[in-house]
């Protein structure tokens, strides 16, 4: 199910160390799930609070979007470095230390009296998420070694992550109804509690990195490249593809990534061993994560549609995604169980088909039937579809990772999600802005989302066909 391509040369692996001694696996799972929930929720939770932030801090519209984009910039830019740090250094110290940064940054944002301080705080929160997310995943993978228990734990972990993404809009709307500052203070309290619990239940780990063992030049080039790419895509979504900073950032990324590959090919202990990309499962999963960008873009377009065309309140627009969020959170662990039984790619394909049907129904029926009818149908299909696809792709990506690659592969997977998110949102925003009149922009945006999801479904079908060939061999 999760074997590397038979044509791939072997990848050197360290001898697998014994599983760590854990005081309580349920509590450990609670800690890593809580970390993932906080990281995922912060992506969406500030959205409903933006009008209040703008009124309170006097931010311009162009500056306001960086309250959201700064988090994505830090998160997406530091995931690869965070993943490698989790492989080289003590994961417990890494997790607790960066949770502390998360708490301090949340408080800083909560007391901000101007937009610059708030954006800096959000950037720091994103960087901390870029470190803690792969560290949490690596801790989970190290504690749960056999396939059945690992997939079950991953199912719970990914269900919580899905809930964080899906419910972030709703929780953000509820907290913003009290005060936009609560959207920052509440995660600070939660982060502190999680850090204290992590200190008690996460096992200590011997550091594998030695002085000078971290590939500094590789870390600088890949982090700078990822930051430039995410920044350029964020600028494209807000200022257009012809914007000078957009073009400059994307050119910088186009130079830095090949430079990073050159550095890695010559370094004796590379930050990202290039051989890891020869694993067909991982590479295919990274491409397929464009589905996540389509999923977020779908929410983006419909949130605008609900508020601008149907005149719903921000809270009502957020609650429109409640059914899908609840279904995803409640069924994602069953998606992981299906992977154990049927394989990752068949399950991912089935989920993508459900998502595609839901998107296609919306775009064809928009403006012709009661939106509550299409909303209910899409949330039903989308919630179940996401619950199947997200765990399946994650398991496909990490299934071939050796213990000393777990943080790296987790970082790659999450970086793929964030970069794919940026690519699809920028593309959707561009198509949206080029269409005028009535519901035409919303329909054009949804067609973009649908087309991308259908293309990813073809990628998953190729993976499913390969799975069948291996099963028959």
Question: Residue 94 contacts by C-beta under 8 Å, 6 or more apart in sequence?
Answer: 85, 86, 131, 132, 135
Range of lowest pLDDT (83-92, 127-136, 197-206, 208-217) = 208-217
Q: Answer whether 423's CB lies under 8 Å from 194's CB.
A: no
Residue 62 pLDDT more than 70?
no
Average pLDDT (262-288) is: 84
What's the confidence (pLDDT) of residue 211? 44
Burial letters for 106-129: b for 16+ Cβ neighbours within 10 Å, e otherwise?
A: bbbbbebeebeebbebbbbbbbbb
Average pLDDT (399-404) is: 72
Tokens 């198509």 — which residue?
Answer: 431
Residue 12 pLDDT more than 70?
no
Tokens 């807000």 — which residue?
Answer: 238
Quick one: tokens of 385? 């579809």
Angle formed by the axes of helices 147-176 and 25-44, to 10°?
40
Question: Residue 134 contacts by C-beta under 8 Å, 6 or more apart in sequence?
Answer: 79, 82, 83, 86, 407, 408, 410, 411, 414
Range of lowest pLDDT (197-206, 270-279, 347-356) = 270-279
What is the DSSP track for 33-93?
HHHHHHHHHHHHTTGGGHHHHHHHHT--HHHHTHHHHHHHHHHHHHHHHHHHHHHHS-HHH
What's the confidence (pLDDT) of residue 6? 34
pLDDT in tens, 333-365: 788 788 888 888 999 999 999 999 999 999 999
Q: Answer whether 349's CB lies under 8 Å from 393's CB.
A: no
Angle at 333 between CA 327 and CA 337, to 5 degrees: 130
Range of lowest pLDDT (1-15, 91-105, 431-445) = 1-15
Say how far apart CA 50 and CA 72 lie, in whole Å. 16
Specify the DSSP class assigned to residue 403.
Answer: G
- State the pLDDT confidence band at 103, using cuts at 50, 70 and 90: very high
Q: Which of 34, 58, 134, 1 is nearest to 418 (CA)?
A: 134
Three-state DSSP state, 346: helix
pLDDT in tens, 357-391: 999 999 999 888 898 999 999 999 999 999 899 88
Say how far apart CA 424 and CA 233 lie, in whole Å. 9
What's the confidence (pLDDT) of residue 239? 79
Q: What is the mean pLDDT of the chain?
A: 84
- State the pLDDT confidence band at 61, using cuts at 50, 70 and 90: low
Average pLDDT (435-441) is: 84
What is the DSSP track for 260-284?
HHHHHHH-SS-SS-GGGGG-HHHHH
């Amino acid at each position: 199910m999760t074997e590397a391509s038979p044509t791939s040369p072997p990848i050197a692996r360290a001898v697998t160390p014994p599983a760590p001694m854990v005081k309580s696996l349920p509590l450990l799972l609670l800690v890593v799930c809580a970390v993932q929930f906080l990281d995922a929720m912060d992506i969406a939770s500030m959205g409903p609070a933006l009008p209040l932030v703008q009124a309170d801090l006097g931010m311009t519209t162009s500056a306001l979007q960086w309250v959201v984009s700064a988090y994505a910039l830090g998160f997406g830019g530091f995931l690869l470095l965070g993943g490698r740090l989790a492989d080289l250094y003590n994961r417990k110290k890494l997790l607790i230390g960066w949770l502390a940064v998360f708490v301090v940054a949340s408080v800083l944002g909560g007391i901000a009296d101007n937009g610059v301080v708030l954006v800096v705080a959000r950037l720091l929160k994103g960087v901390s998420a870029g470190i803690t997310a792969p560290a949490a995943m690596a801790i989970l993978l190290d504690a749960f070694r056999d396939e059945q228990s690992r997939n079950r734990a991953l199912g719970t972990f990914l269900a919580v992550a899905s809930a964080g993404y899906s419910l972030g809009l709703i929780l953000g709307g509820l907290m913003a109804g009290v005060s936009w500052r609560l959207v920052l203070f509440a995660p600070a309290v939660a982060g502190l509690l999680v850090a204290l619990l992590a200190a008690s239940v996460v096992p200590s780990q011997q550091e594998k990195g030695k002085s000078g063992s971290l590939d500094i030049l590789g870390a600088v080039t890949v982090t700078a490249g990822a930051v430039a790419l995410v920044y350029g895509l964020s600028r494209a979504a807000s200022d257009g593809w012809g914007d000078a900073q957009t073009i400059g950032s994307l050119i910088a990324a186009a130079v830095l990534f090949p430079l990073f590959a050159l550095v890695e090919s010559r370094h004796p202990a590379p930050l990202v061993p290039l051989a890891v990309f020869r694993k067909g499962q991982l590479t295919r999963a990274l491409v397929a994560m464009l589905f996540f960008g389509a999923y977020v873009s779908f929410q983006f377009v419909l949130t605008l549609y609900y508020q601008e065309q149907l005149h719903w309140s921000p809270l009502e627009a957020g609650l429109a995604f409640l059914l899908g969020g609840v279904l995803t959170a409640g069924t994602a662990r069953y998606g992981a169980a299906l992977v154990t039984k049927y394989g990752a790619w068949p399950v991912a394909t089935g989920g993508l088909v459900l998502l595609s049907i839901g998107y296609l129904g919306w775009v064809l029926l928009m403006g012709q039937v009661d939106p509550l009818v299409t909303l209910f149908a899409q949330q039903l299909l989308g919630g179940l579809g996401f619950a199947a696809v997200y765990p399946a792709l994650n398991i496909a990506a990490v299934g071939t990772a050796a213990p000393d690659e777990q943080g790296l592969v987790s970082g790659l997977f999450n970086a793929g999600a964030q970069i794919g998110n940026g690519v699809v949102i920028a593309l959707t925003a561009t198509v949206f802005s080029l269409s005028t009149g009535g519901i035409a922009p919303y329909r054009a945006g949804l067609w973009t989302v649908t087309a991308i999801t259908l293309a990813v479904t073809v990628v998953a079908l190729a993976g499913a066909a390969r799975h069948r060939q291996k099963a028959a061999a």
